[in-house]
């Protein structure tokens, strides 16, 4: 139904390339691409059969739906430039892809009668090829008023994604969830790899071991959900093992004690919910975690 939409892309980076290719594959017409560097715009324009233009305002004037796939900090200045140059008009849709910014950043477009919204892939896009594969099947946070919300939701469904409605007030909190699950998992992987290295395991072996472990964990999460996917000493109520962990950390990696204890408290809550840890066991483990933190800080 929206094949007639003329889509313009500003910002030919990872997400601009991925969304441009995905939209194009699903029948949307990309008419123009601009980026900071013209060669980046040209490279994407060639793939999606669009025109590469040197200035963002040239994308805006010829498009019905403008996708701003820019670094977060560049959205406001680029929107202000386009507004000054007269690129926005009533009935046009102006959409950014940031998970953290709300719609205030698009106010200059709204003041000129455009509909404003955001379309945030709830996915980690490291490069365009990978993102084109993973975005179908991913959730997309959609923030917009009608009629743009309906348009964005139907685009998401058409490219194989699942729309999530987000409000501006809760946008930052919603984005913390994405950052914790994705960036937090990468940081946890790095901490675990560091511990294995301190334990004398060669990096190549530790990488394989951790990837297989994470793969199994993801499968458990997908198959069993929360809280049943939680395994390990806290889930079993193995207080002695938790204390051995804390002693090992105190001796070999005290810098990671805080992280272990913080996550441990969440595990205790999950284990109680799962029914595999009783109230007394939970109290003893929580006390051991607090004592270890206090000893590390002393």
Per the CB < 8 A criterion, the answer to whether 162 and 156 are in contact is yes
Write each residue from 36 to 65 as x if it is in contact with ligand NAP (CB under 6 A), else as -, in one continuous string: xx--x---------------x---------
Q: Is 72 in the site for ligand NAP (CB under 6 A)?
A: yes
Interacting span for ligand NAP (CB under 6 A) from 97-105, 152-160, 262-270, 288-296: 97-105
Quote the DSSP letter at residue 254. G
Alpha-carbon distance of 201 to 205, in angstroms, equals 7
Specify the residue for token string 């709300």: 102
Per the CB < 8 A criterion, the answer to whether 68 and 95 are in contact is yes
Q: Is 9 in the site for ligand NAP (CB under 6 A)?
A: no
SS3 of 181-236: the string is: HHHHHHHHHHHHHHHHHHCCCCHHHHHHHHHHHHHHHHHHHHHHCCCCCCCCHHHH
Alpha-carbon distance of 243 to 254, in angstroms, equals 14
Cβ atoms < 10 Å from Cβ of 249: 20
Interacting span for ligand NAP (CB under 6 A) from 14-22, 147-155, 204-212, 234-242: 14-22
Do the strands 6-10 and 29-34 form a parallel or antiparallel pair, or are they unpaired?
parallel
Interacting span for ligand NAP (CB under 6 A) from 121-129, 185-193, 258-266, 278-286: 121-129
Residue nearest to ligand NAP (CB): 13
Q: How many residues bind ligand NAP (CB under 6 A)?
A: 25
Beta-bridge partners for 119: 142
Give residues 73-92 in contact with ligand NAP (rule: CB under 6 A): 74, 78
Q: Is 12 in the site for ligand NAP (CB under 6 A)?
A: yes
Per the CB < 8 A criterion, the answer to whether 1 and 26 are in contact is no
Q: How far is the CB of 114 from ligand NAP (least distance, A)?
A: 18
Burial 109-120 (b: 16+ CB within 10 A, else e): bbebebbbbbbb
Exactly one of 93, 98, 206, 257 binds ligand NAP (CB under 6 A); which one? Answer: 98
Q: How far is the CB of 220 from ligand NAP (least distance, A)?
A: 25
Torsion of CA 114, 149, 135, 96, to 10 degrees: 30
Write each residue from 125 to 164 as x if it is in contact with ligand NAP (CB under 6 A), else as -, in one continuous string: x---------------------------------------
Q: Is 121 in the site for ligand NAP (CB under 6 A)?
A: yes
Name which of 104 and 241 has its Cβ closer to ligand NAP: 104
Q: Is 2 in the site for ligand NAP (CB under 6 A)?
A: no
Alpha-carbon distance of 203 to 222, in angstroms, equals 28
Interacting span for ligand NAP (CB under 6 A) from 35-43, 155-163, 216-224, 270-278: 35-43
Exactly one of 5, 7, 9, 15 binds ligand NAP (CB under 6 A); which one? Answer: 15
Contact footprint for ligand NAP (CB under 6 A) = 10-16, 35-37, 40, 56, 69-72, 74, 78, 97-99, 120-121, 124-125
């Amino acid at each position: 139904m929206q094949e007639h939409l003329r889509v313009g892309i500003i910002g030919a980076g990872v997400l601009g390339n991925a969304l441009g290719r995905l939209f194009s594959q699903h029948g949307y017409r990309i008419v123009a691409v601009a980026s900071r560097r013209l060669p980046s715009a040209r490279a994407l324009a060639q793939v999606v059969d669009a025109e590469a233009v040197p200035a963002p305002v040239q994308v805006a004037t010829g498009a019905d739906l403008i996708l701003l796939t820019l670094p977060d900090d560049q959205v406001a200045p680029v929107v202000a430039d386009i507004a000054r140059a007269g690129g926005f008009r009533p009935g046009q849709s102006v959409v950014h892809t940031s998970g953290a910014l709300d719609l205030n950043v698009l106010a200059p477009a709204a003041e000129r009668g455009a509909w404003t919204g955001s379309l945030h892939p709830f996915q980690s896009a490291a490069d365009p090829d990978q993102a084109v594969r993973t975005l179908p099947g991913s959730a997309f946070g959609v923030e917009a008023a009608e009629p743009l919300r309906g348009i964005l939701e139907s685009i998401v469904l058409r490219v194989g994604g699942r729309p999530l409605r987000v409000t501006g007030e809760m946008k930052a909190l919603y984005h913390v969830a994405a950052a914790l699950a994705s960036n937090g998992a990468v940081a946890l992987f790095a901490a675990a790899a560091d511990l294995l290295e301190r334990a004398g395991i060669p990096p190549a072996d530790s990488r394989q071991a951790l990837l297989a472990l994470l793969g199994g964990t993801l499968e458990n999460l997908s198959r069993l959900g929360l809280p049943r996917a939680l395994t390990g000493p806290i889930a079993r109520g193995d207080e002695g093992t938790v204390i051995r962990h804390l002693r090992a950390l105190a001796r070999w990696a005290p810098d990671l004690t805080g992280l272990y204890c913080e996550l441990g408290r969440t595990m205790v809550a999950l284990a109680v919910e799962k029914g595999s840890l009783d109230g007394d066991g939970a109290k003893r483990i929580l006390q051991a975690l607090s004592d270890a933190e206090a000893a590390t800080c002393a």
